[in-house]
Copies of this chain bind each other. A is one copy, B any other.
Amino acid sequence: MRNPQINRHGKLQHLLTTEGLPREIITTILDAAAPFAEVAEREVKKLPLMRGKSIFNLFFENSTRTRTTFEIAAKRLSADVINLNINTSSAAKGETLLDTVDNLSAMQADMFVVRHASSGAPYLIAEHLAATGRDHIHVVNAGDGRHAHPTQGLLDMYTIRHYKRDFTSLTVAIVGDVLHSRVARSQIHAMTTLGVAEIRVIAPQTLLPTNVERMGVRVFHNIDEGLRGVDVVMMLRLQNERMQGALLPSPQEYFKSYGLTPERLALAKPDAIVMHPGPMNRGVEIDSAVADGTHAVILPQVTFGIAVRMAVMSMLAGGA
């Protein structure tokens, strides 16, 4: 498979996935994000880096939260942002995805932030832009199907680096529905590239992809065993819709077996951090005592997420 996100000069052309993203590019993004995290503390949080640029939030799948993070990041870079919830517009009129993209490109778009229920939709757009000679337009994947959510993966790396400095000595556990999680995939690929010593996944067999070990992770079905001695616990959100299928008995049962409680967290290292991509299901995958406790870095994740998105967008726009 090609890697359309890196251009022929080895620079970031699009951000589609953390899989195969070179370590130096990840590091450059994390380094670039740091000053933006400081910007957020200033009186005036705006920078003129993307003034006059037109960013389209193309959300074929509804997600106010993720759309908001990109919208804020873009506005703080002084870009013009246009929000498009496509399920309620052209798509309903029968227009194809690529016709929509062609149209918005013709409106002189500079960047598409794409969320789509189908894995690969942002790739399709990126390849179409290349095939039609529009290399000046950049694509950021804001979540595609079960495939990838790279800005989430990168903000998680920023968070880990912020609290733990070095990746190569860490043991990290990902807990929950890995099977359906684009977040988990993006985390695993980024951590592998950054040299995390041991990546564990903790879940019932029904919520793990077949042959998940091939991704370079250690599998645990027992959460107590899986958490023992870890430096970082990355919780996944349990999608409500999973509850209705045959995959899981009930939220209560799930919490009993895999919910992160203070007792379980005590099995991890004393200075372990707890992460969650949000929104949280309190009492399902995470106990409120943990969510609001001293180990949780869930809100800093959000803050770093804005900075990482500002870094990605300004790097792409600047041709960095």
Contact = CB atoms under 8 A, between A and B. Distances in A.
Interface string A91-123: 001111001101111111000000000000000
Interface in A56-104: 62-65, 68-69, 71-72, 75-76, 80, 82, 84-86, 88-90, 93-96, 99-100, 102-104
A302 B95 CA distance: 15
A219 B90 CA distance: 31
Interface residues of A, number: 54
Q: In the assembly, how many copies of this chain are there? A: 3
A74 B280 CA distance: 31
Given A40-B108, A279-B99, A64 B52 contact: no
Given A52-B43, A65-B90, A95-B280, A72 B103 contact: no
Given A72-B82, A99-B280, A52 B45 contact: yes
A161 interface: no
A275 interface: no
Contacts of A51: 44, 46
A26 interface: no
A48 to B, nearest CB: 9
A247 interface: no
A299 interface: yes
